Every structure is written in structure tokens, then in C-alpha cells.
């Protein structure tokens, strides 16, 4: 007997894309059910992350018209990662396997069959990996490559060119639920679960409607969350930088001493003093900023506030 699949889609102000998204996914999931790949109880689970447009109204209409659609509504906007986690944990008691993806359907839904085939072959986690970035702008392509390489340098175990298009078995979801951290970076957490994993390569399409929810500022904040949530290397770099600065300071001291004892030589005092003050002041502020970020994360974790609150469930 085939297993029950829940396709989890976080939604935030997705009014322009939902009619097309729901139509395509309904057709795809129906074909998978007819082919015997998944059970007839399989669902498409929308997660409304506090949308300000008609997203929830459209989802309610879809649920009323077709039992294939289910949904949860969060009490307020909690961000993509929290919304995704809410959908996955909700599906944990309802499904044997889940596949998460974005609501704009830039991820190729025809690859869903490949995900299920690898799951049937024993994979508890299957990562959707982009096979190229030819459609990206030069800036986005270079920044994305720098992001993944930087995470690797800092020791974060992450799958290259993988976002949040992934399959997780019930066992893998139970492992995910045991991670209690508030600062979520699921791309880094999921590989920590372990179990057998596989990869499905696909070509990412263009967004057919609406706007991207990740402008440059959010992308940079997301990258920093990924680094600071899984690595203390930035703090170690501060230590290395401090040692390096101390060595330079010793060099300046030696230089000043030599200039003082040599005849007819003037010690260049003002320039050296100002450069030293600005250099050390800047390093101190940088160090305090990085340490403050980590203390802030500890503060959030210690309070242990709920990552999300579900206001309504349609299932």
C-alpha cells in the first residue's frame, strides 16, 4: 500500500500565484495518486504565514471546493523558516512522508515522482538540488556561490545549491521535531538528523507571478543567521584578528623606539596615533558587534518562546 504524502507550502502574500499553484499541484498530486505512487489520503498543505492580502481567503475556498487541499493559519507572521516548520510538524501526525517547496512553484513539480522513488528505495531525506544557475543574474549567482562556500569554510554542513525543496520521511520529521532551537536555519539542521539521504537534480524556473520575498537585505540576514546558528568561527576570527593587531602594535612600538634613539630623526606622532586609535576602535566595535549577535541568540534561546502559534487548521 502506498504511503500518504503531504506537500507543504509556506505562503506569505501569495494571492497572485495561488490559483495557478493550486491548479498545477492538484493535477500533479492526482496523477501521482492514480499511478499508485502515493495514497489517496495525500494532501496539499498550505501554511499561511500571517499574510496581509487575500491569501487565506483563497486557501479557504480551495479547501471548501476540494478535500485534496488542507491548510493551517499562523496567528501572525513568523518568517519562512518558522512557517515551514509549522507545516512539517503539523503533517507529522497525518502523513508518512512530506515534501516541502515554495508556493511560487519555481521548483519543478514534475520531479516529485523522483523524490518518491528515492524514498521507496530507502532514503529518509531527499534534497532537491539545482543543476545550474544559468537563469540567475550574475550578482545573484555569484552571491549564492559565495554564500555556500562561506558556510562550508565556517564548518556548516549544508547541501550545495539546495534551498527548502526536500522530502522528509516520518522518521526524519520526528528527528527534526527534537531540535528545540529558536533560531531556525533548516538547511543546516536537516543534514544533522542523519539517516540515508539522496539528491534529485532539477532546473529552477522563473517566478510566474508576484514578487520575491527575499530582497538583498533579507538574503544577507538569512546568510548571517545560517553562519551564526551553526558556527562559532566568527568569534574565533576575532581572536585571531586581535592577535594580529597586537603583533602590529608591537611593530609600531619598535618603530617608534628606533626613531626616538636615532639622531636627527623626528617621531611622526600624530598620524601614527590617529591611525592606531581608529584601527583599534574599529576592531573593538566589530568584536562587540559579533559577540552581541551571539549573546542575542542565546537570549532568544533561553526565553524559549514558541516558534509559532497556529490560529486555525483546515483538514
Q: Can you give the pLDDT at residue 189?
A: 82
- Give domain limits for the chain: 5-213+309-314, 233-303
CB atoms within 10 A of CB 2: 18
Each residue's pLDDT tens digit, 3-30: 889 999 999 888 888 988 889 999 999 9
What's the CA gap between 207 and 171, in Å, rounded? 32
Q: Can you give the pLDDT at residue 287?
A: 75
Per-residue pLDDT, averaged over 186-202, amounts to: 85
pLDDT greater than 60 at residue 210: no
The 3-state secondary structure of 34-84, one letter per residue: HCCCCCCCCEEEEEECCCCCCHHHHHHHHHHHCCCEEEEEECCCCCHHHHH
> Mean pLDDT: which of 122-131, 181-190, 280-289, 299-308 is highest?
122-131
Q: Which three cell numbers stand for residue 130?
A: 539545482
**Those residues with Cβ within 8 angstroms of residue 9's Cβ, 6 or more apart along the chain or in another chain:** 21, 25, 44, 45, 46, 47, 87, 100, 101, 102, 103
User: Distance from CA of residue 218 to its chain's centroid?
Assistant: 11
Each residue's pLDDT tens digit, 223-279: 666 666 666 566 667 766 766 766 676 666 666 666 666 666 555 565 566 666 766
More confident residue, 55 or 79: 55
Mean pLDDT of the chain: 79
Each residue's pLDDT tens digit, 18-68: 988 889 999 999 999 988 888 888 999 999 988 898 899 999 999 999 889
CA dihedral (171, 173, 179, 185) positive or negative: positive
> Angle formed by the axes of helices 216-230 and 233-261, to 10°?
90
User: Is the distance from CB of 42 to CB of 82 less than 8 angstroms?
Assistant: no
Say which CATH superfamily domain 5-213+309-314 falls into.
Spore Coat Polysaccharide Biosynthesis Protein SpsA; Chain A (3.90.550.10)
Phi then psi for 311, rounded to 5 degrees?
-85, -35
Amino acid at each position: 500500500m502506498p504511503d500518504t504524502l503531504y506537500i507543504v507550502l509556506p505562503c506569505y502574500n501569495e494571492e497572485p500565484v495561488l490559483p495557478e499553484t493550486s491548479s498545477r499541484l492538484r493535477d500533479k498530486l492526482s496523477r501521482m495518486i492514480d499511478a499508485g505512487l502515493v495514497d489517496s489520503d495525500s494532501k496539499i498543505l498550505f501554511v499561511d504565514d500571517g499574510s496581509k492580502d487575500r491569501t487565506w481567503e483563497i486557501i479557504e475556498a480551495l479547501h471548501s471546493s476540494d478535500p485534496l487541499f488542507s491548510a493551517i493559519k499562523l496567528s501572525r507572521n513568523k518568517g519562512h523558516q518558522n512557517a515551514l516548520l509549522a507545516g512539517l510538524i503539523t503533517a507529522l501526525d497525518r502523513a508518512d512522508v512530506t515534501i516541502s517547496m515554495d508556493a511560487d512553484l519555481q521548483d519543478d513539480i514534475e520531479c516529485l515522482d523522483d523524490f518518491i522513488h528515492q524514498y521507496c528505495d530507502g532514503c529518509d531525506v531527499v534534497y532537491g538540488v539545482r543543476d545550474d544557475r544559468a537563469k540567475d543574474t550574475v550578482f545573484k549567482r555569484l552571491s549564492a556561490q559565495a554564500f555556500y562556500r562561506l558556510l562550508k569554510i565556517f564548518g556548516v554542513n549544508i547541501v550545495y545549491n539546495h534551498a527548502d525543496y526536500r522530502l522528509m520521511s516520518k522518521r526524519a520529521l520526528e528527528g527534526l521535531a527534537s531540535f528545540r532551537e529558536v533560531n531556525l536555519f533548516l538547511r543546516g539542521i536537516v543534514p544533522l538528523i542523519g539517516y540515508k539521504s539522496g539528491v534529485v537534480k532539477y532546473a529552477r524556473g522563473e517566478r510566474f507571478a508576484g514578487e520575491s520575498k527575499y530582497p538583498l537585505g533579507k538574503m544577507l540576514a538569512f546568510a548571517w543567521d545560517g553562519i551564526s546558528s551553526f558556527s562559532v568561527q566568527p568569534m574565533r576570527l576575532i581572536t585571531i584578528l586581535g592577535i594580529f593587531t597586537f603583533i602590529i602594535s608591537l611593530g609600531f612600538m619598535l618603530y617608534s623606539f628606533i626613531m626616538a634613539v636615532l639622531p636627527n630623526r623626528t617621531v611622526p606622532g600624530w598620524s601614527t596615533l590617529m591611525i592606531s586609535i581608529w584601527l583599534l576602535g574599529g576592531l573593538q566595535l566589530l568584536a562587540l558587534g559579533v559577540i552581541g549577535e551571539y549573546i542575542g541568540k542565546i537570549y532568544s534561546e533561553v526565553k524559549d518562546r514558541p516558534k509559532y502559534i497556529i490560529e486555525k487548521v483546515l483538514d
